[in-house]
Amino acid sequence: MNTEAKVGAFVLSCFAVLTFAVIYLLHAQSSGATVPYRTYLRYAGGIEPGASVLFGGIKAGKVTAVRPWATDPTRIEVLLEIDKDTPLNEKSVAKLGFVSVMNGAALSITTGSNEAKRLPPGSVITSQEAASLDEIAGKLATVADSANGLITQAQGELNDISGNVNHLLANVENMTGPPNQRKVQAILNNIDLLIANERPKIDRLTDQLEKVSQHADDTIQNVNGAVSDVRAPVRKDLAELQAALEQARGLLDSLQTLVRANDYKIGDTVENLRETTDNLNQFTNSLKQRPWSLVRIKQPQDRQVPK
C-alpha cells in the first residue's frame, strides 16, 4: 500500500470517528426527557423559538413556540420544554431575562418555594411582566425632564445662596475690620482695669462669704444638737402618751363590758323611773283638783241649800 492510500484511509477513519461522535452527542442530547409547560406575557421582548429557559439561573430547557394567544390576542403564548426533573412549583414565576449581556433574550423562572405544590406537566407558569424598552425610554425621558427642572431650580437656589453668602462674608468682614477690632480691644482693656480695681472688694466679699458659711455650719451643728437633746424627752412623752391612750382604751372597754352586763338592770331602772314619773303626774293632777287633801283626809260634805 502506497503512502497516498494510507493517508486516504487515515482521513476516512477520522471522518468516521467524528461522524460517530456527532451522532452520539445528538442522540444523547435528544434522548433527555422533557415535559411541556406554557406561560403568557404581554411583552415577549424578542424571545424566539430555541431561546434558553433558565430555572434559578441554570439552563433547564428551551422555548418551542412564541405566538399570539388565540383566546386573548393581547397576550403572547410561550410554549416551553423543561427538563423532567426541574422542580417547578406554584410559586415559580416566569419573566424575561438574559443569559448574558452578549446573548439574546431568555425566559427566566424563579425557584419559588419548597413548600409549594409541584406543577404537573402542561401547567401554566405564573408570569411577571417586564417593562418594555419604550416604557423604559419614556420613564427616562420623564426623569430627564424632571432633572432639568430640578437643575434649573437648583441653579436659582444656588444663585440665591451665593448672594446670601457674599452678603454674610461682607458683614463678617465689616464686623472683623480694624475699627471693630479696636473697639473690642478697648472693651477688653476696660474689663481688665475693672477686674484689677475691684479685686480687693471681691477678695473681701469672698472672705465674708467664707465666714458666713462657717457660721452657718456651726448653726446647723447647734440645731442638730438641740434636736438631738429634745428628741429624747419628746420620745419619752410620746411613749407615756401612748401608754395613757392604751389605759383609756382599756377603761372604755371595761365600761362597755359593764354596760352590756347591766343592760337589763338599766332597762328596769328606766321602767321604774317612768312609773314614778306617771305617779308624780297623777299626784300633781290630784293636788290641782283637790288641794284641800293636803289638810283634810276626808272630803267635806256638800253644803245644803237652806229651806
Q: What is the pLDDT of residues 70-110, one digit of tens each?
A: 999 889 999 999 998 889 999 999 988 776 545 678 898 99
C-alpha cell read off for 181: 477690632
Pairwise pLDDT comparison (81 vs 205), residue with the higher score: 81
SS3 content of the chain, % helix, strand, coil (to 5): 60, 15, 25
Q: Could you tell me if 123 and 37 are in contact, meaning their C-beta atoms sit under 8 angstroms apart?
A: yes
Tens-digit pLDDT profile for residues 46-75? 888 999 999 988 898 999 999 999 999 889
Q: Could you tell me if 94 and 75 are in contact, meaning their C-beta atoms sit under 8 angstroms apart?
A: no
Q: Which residues contact 61 (CB under 8 A, 6 or more apart)?
A: 34, 52, 53, 55, 80, 81, 82, 83, 86
CA–CA separation, 104 and 97 (whole Å): 9
Q: What angle do CA 119, 121, 124 make, to 5 degrees?
A: 65
CA–CA separation, 290 and 297 (whole Å): 11
Residue with cell 433558565: 54
Running DSSP on this structure, what letter comes out for residue 292?
G
C-alpha cell read off for 33: 426527557
**pLDDT higher than threshold 70 for residue 136:** no
Helix/strand/coil for 90: coil
Running DSSP on this structure, what letter comes out for residue 212?
H
Count Cβ atoms below 10 Å from residue 119 Cβ, excluding itself: 21
pTM confidence score: 0.37
Tens-digit pLDDT profile for residues 12-26? 777 777 776 767 555
**pLDDT higher than threshold 50 for residue 28:** no
The fraction of the chain above a pLDDT of 70, given in percent, is 78
CA–CA separation, 169 and 66 (whole Å): 69
* Domain extents in the chain: 31-113+122-130, 131-176
CA–CA separation, 56 and 109 (whole Å): 6
CA–CA separation, 119 and 191 (whole Å): 91
CA–CA separation, 122 and 36 (whole Å): 5
DSSP for 38-53, please give it: EEEES--TT--TT-EE
Q: Could you tell me if 299 and 286 are in contact, meaning their C-beta atoms sit under 8 angstroms apart?
A: no
